[in-house]
Amino acid sequence: MKVNPGIFRTYDIRGKYGEEISQEFATQLAHAFLVLYPHMKKIAVAHDPAPNSPLLAATLKEVFLQQGKEVIDLGLSPDPLYYFSLFFYGYDGGVMVSSSHVIEFSGFTLTVRKPGSPYVEDVVEEELEKIKELVGADAKTNIGESRGSVTALDPSKDYQEYVSSRIRFAAPLKIIVDCGNGAMGFLPERVFKALGCEVITLYGEFDGTYPNHIPDPYVEANLQDLKRAVLRERADVGFAYDADGDRVALIDNRGRVVSGDFCLLMLALQAIEKKKGPVVHDMRVSQAFLDEVRKQGVETYFAVSHHNAIIRKLREVNGVFGGEVTLHFLFPSDYYLCDDALFASLKLAEIMSDKKDFAAFVDTLPRYVASPELFIATPDDKKFLIINKLTLYLKEHGYDVVDVDGARIQFKNGWALARAANTSPFIKCRFEGKTKEDLFVIEKESLELFKKLGIPVEKKHYEELGLESTT
């Protein structure tokens, strides 16, 4: 079948429903998955509340049944239950159908336990290229000798018992959770209540049209209802989850957003205190985070900005914690190696449960001055070429640059980063300085350099940073 190759991203498959994603595509994708991994016998299928996701999930299940597979139907489930099921019950593979928080899109994450491997892993990069080729070639598996079976499963009870056994609160908390009408539903409320907390849930009803706000907790505009509720209810903390439950934002008891850098630092120090070992992080992490973690005598490692890349690096270096400032967190010493936002919120709640005034504690954390992240629209077929050109220039001209994912320029009093987004047509830029004055100098110098090397910096980007353009 004819397929837009652009829907096969580095780590998943994502495209516009009705144009690039359809039932026909889902059928062919299921065949390709089985052709590449014929050993799979038990396959879990889950979906988010997006309007088109149940139909696409049903299409996948039908193909698996035709091939004689045992289908574990998780129904409408968030990532935490999906990945927990694969690890805990030992299934051979799975598919999560999710639009994330982008309503007009549909997507698929394919997961497999390869023969002889102790790990459950998402299908990424080279294997997704093979899947793409198989879909384009209309590859088919042979019809099974007998039709497979379907088992409907609700793993929430086992999940609750499992994660609760790994958490200890010094004192119960009053918590507000905002699930944004996404796949998390009332699961966080049930788990926190089982641990003795008082919980109020905002928008726990499933509704994939997201009528109240987009469930993307990295964007502060989506956190306003939660901030108000924390203050109104005099709660200890607020947690906001994204649509599929792999990211969580934190609101302190004064109704303030606690940045991803601070969450990373608190969780990393918590992990190191329990077991010393390497920490893995993305390219956008604050220098204050790096300085503080290195004070503990452990190694820190940059990784590509995606949770699958963080997971790979954690395995490579035998790390004890990993995460991204975009609110993905991983706990290899305490949990399965998947970014479970509910488990992350439990670990954050552990930290705050023995603080008299959590907000006051947050104010003691070391910090530099950081810019917001700039999203500079750049075509998918050009963004990586531009970043490669920039990186080569920086190295040739003696800059101190980290090029694990894009180019992070290390200045005397801060840094600047330009990287191509993995899943969208943007180059993303971020800047940090030890002081406001340092940040101003770094922003001005870096933007001029970026513009010179082909990044389409416009006047509006200067304005977003509170700068005046020289153009």
pLDDT digit string, tens, across residues 55-92: 999 999 999 999 999 999 999 999 999 999 999 999 99
Three-state secondary-structure class, residue 237: strand
Per DSSP, the three-state class of 58 is: helix
Residue 350 to residue 250: CA distance in whole angstroms: 13
DSSP string, 67-94: TT-EEEEEEE--HHHHHHHHHHHT-SEE
Considering only residues 194 and 11, tell me which one the structure prediction assigns the higher pLDDT. Answer: 194
Residue with tokens 């009870």: 157
Q: Where in the chain is the domain with CATH 3.40.120.10?
A: 5-154, 158-362
Contact yes or no for 113/37 (Cβ under 8 A): no
Domain with CATH 3.30.310.50 in the chain: 369-464
Q: Helix, strand or coil for residue 406?
A: coil
Structure tokens at 217: 């907790």
Assigned superfamily of 369-464: Alpha-D-phosphohexomutase, C-terminal domain (3.30.310.50)
CATH (one of 3.40.120.10, 3.30.565.10, 3.30.70.260, 3.40.50.1000) for 5-154: 3.40.120.10
Judged against a pLDDT cut of 70, whether residue 470 lies above it is answered with no
Average of pLDDT values for 370-389?
A: 95
Strand partners, 107: 14
Strands 279-281 and 300-302: parallel
For helices 23-36 and 53-66, give the axis angle rounded to 10 degrees: 40
For 158-362, CATH gives: 3.40.120.10
Give the SS3 label for residue 238.
Answer: strand
Q: Confirm if 406 and 417 have CB atoms less than 8 A apart.
A: yes
Q: Are strands 248-251 and 257-258 parallel, antiparallel or unpaired?
A: antiparallel
350 or 118, which is more confident? 350
Element (H, E) at 159: helix 156-164
Mean pLDDT of the chain: 95
Task: State pTM to two decimals.
Answer: 0.94
pLDDT band at residue 117 using 50, 70 and 90 as cut-offs: confident
Q: Please give the Cα distance from 450 to 429 (Å, whole number).
A: 10
423 has a pLDDT exceeding 90: no
Spell out a b/e string for 145-164, using b for 16 or more CB atoms within 10 Å of the CB, else e: eeebebeebebbeebbebbe
Query: Is the pLDDT confidence value at 142 over 90?
Result: no
Cα torsion 332, 336, 341, 344: sign:
negative
**Residue that has been written with the tokens 């091939």 in this structure:** 67
pLDDT at 4 over 70: yes
pLDDT tens for each residue of 221-249: 999 999 999 999 999 999 999 999 999 99
Element holding 351 (H helix, E strand): helix 341-352
Per the rule left: phi > 0, alpha: psi between -120 and 50, beta: everything else, 454 is: left
Backbone angles phi, psi at 231, to 5 degrees: -70, -45
Residues in the chain, how many? 471
Only one residue has tokens 């992490």, namely: 285
